[in-house]
Amino acid sequence: MSIDLTETSITEAVQKTFDGAEDERVKELFVCLVQHVHDFAREVRLTGDEWFKAVDFLTRVGEVTTPTRQEFVLLSDILGVSVLVDLINHESGSSATDSTLLGPFYVEGRPAVENGADISGGVEGTPLFFRGTVVDTDGKPVAGARVDTWHSDGDGFYDVQMPEKLHDRLAMRALMTTDDEGRFWYRSIAPRYYPVPTDGPCGEILRTANRSAMRPEHLHFWLHAEGFEPLITMLFRRDDPYLEHDAVFGAKRSLVVDFVHHEAGETAPDGTRMDEPFQNVEWTFVLLPQGG
């Protein structure tokens, strides 16, 4: 450590303070972070005013963040960091199902349900029947996989965004388990494209840049099975107008699926004769072996 630091020498002085870290990875992360943040400040000739604004922005991100309103996750999402981290850690185009970002609307307290359950939680909308199969990279069924799913309603709102309407009940989300043939299935309602929340500090970034806030219509899935890598992914509606313009960069061609429309009078996959139009979606999820 020295006094009389300069604009250049301060970087190494700060980095050296991490020499005592016992964890080499922690040390590597901080030394590199300091390098990049200092380089950034020097490169853009950051003013004191701009830095105070940035600190105020992050303070407000923290202030609006709750267990069901994850503004820090949203910030990472709209800056592309969530998808970048996913791309770094998951090879895309392998024989397994591609992953994508988690998003801010996953809730741990979701109900566990039996296959075939109606998970709409009483929210009205176009009925949607989902049938999934979970297999390994040899196509063998994975029994006992735990599958989380969650999605928006037909107006593009998640349950946690309508606490007054739902009286804080959870809806359109559940945890299921695959049967001996690796299958899981449920009934719900069709989701819709939606804007990411713009009523918090992240909305200011989107408006400042004249950016679209829209996400294409999708269903979320998070799969866990013993002996396999966990998989966080989404399935996107093929004919969605925002597929190529996802505000959080998460849409992938390999995850596009047909939401097949059926007319009233046709029979649903669960044998129900439907007196209203409905949609069917089917997908096979391929899991990578642990460490694979």
Contacts with Fe ion by CB under 5 A lie at 103
**What residues between 202 and 221 interact with ligand BEZ by CB under 6 A?**
215
Specify the residue, 77 or 136, whose C-beta has the smaller distance to Fe ion.
Answer: 77
Q: How many helices (H) and strands (E) does the chain have?
A: 7, 11
Among 104, 127, 132, 201, binds ligand BEZ (CB under 6 A): 104
Minimum distance from CB of 222 to ligand BEZ (Å)?
12
Q: Rounded to whole angstroms, how far apart are CA atoms 97 and 260? A: 21
Specify the residue, 259 or 278, whose C-beta has the smaller distance to ligand BEZ.
Answer: 259
Stretch of residues binding ligand BEZ (CB under 6 A), selected from 21-29, 61-69, 96-104, 180-188: 96-104
Does 201 contact ligand BEZ by CB under 6 A?
no
Specify the residue, 142 or 232, whose C-beta has the smaller distance to Fe ion.
Answer: 232
Distance of CA 281 to the CA centre of its chain: 20
Burial group, residue 49, by CB count within 10 angstroms (0-12, 13-18, 19+): exposed
Stretch of residues binding ligand BEZ (CB under 6 A), selected from 26-34, 36-44, 97-105, 270-278: 97-105
Q: Rounded to whole angstroms, how far apart are CA atoms 233 and 256? A: 11
- State which residue has the least CB distance to ligand BEZ: 103
Residue 281: count of CB within 10 angstroms of its CB: 18
Specify the residue, 174 or 196, whose C-beta has the smaller distance to ligand BEZ.
Answer: 196
Q: Which amino acid belongs to residue 258?
A: D
Minimum distance from CB of 8 to ligand BEZ (Å)?
39
Does 74 contact ligand BEZ by CB under 6 A?
yes
Structure-derived torsion over alpha carbons of residues 129, 259, 194, 87, reported in degrees to the nearest 10:
100
Report how far apart the first and last C-alpha atoms of the chain are (Å, whole number). Answer: 44
Among 71, 77, 136, 153, binds ligand BEZ (CB under 6 A): 77
Q: E-strand spans in the chain?
A: 127-136, 146-150, 173-177, 183-189, 194-195, 214-215, 218-224, 231-237, 256-257, 260-262, 278-287
Does 251 contact ligand BEZ by CB under 6 A?
no
Does 191 contact ligand BEZ by CB under 6 A?
no
Q: What is the CA radius of gyration of the chain?
A: 23
Minimum distance from CB of 247 to ligand BEZ (Å)?
7
Specify the residue, 203 or 277, whose C-beta has the smaller distance to ligand BEZ.
Answer: 203
Minimum distance from CB of 138 to ligand BEZ (Å)?
31
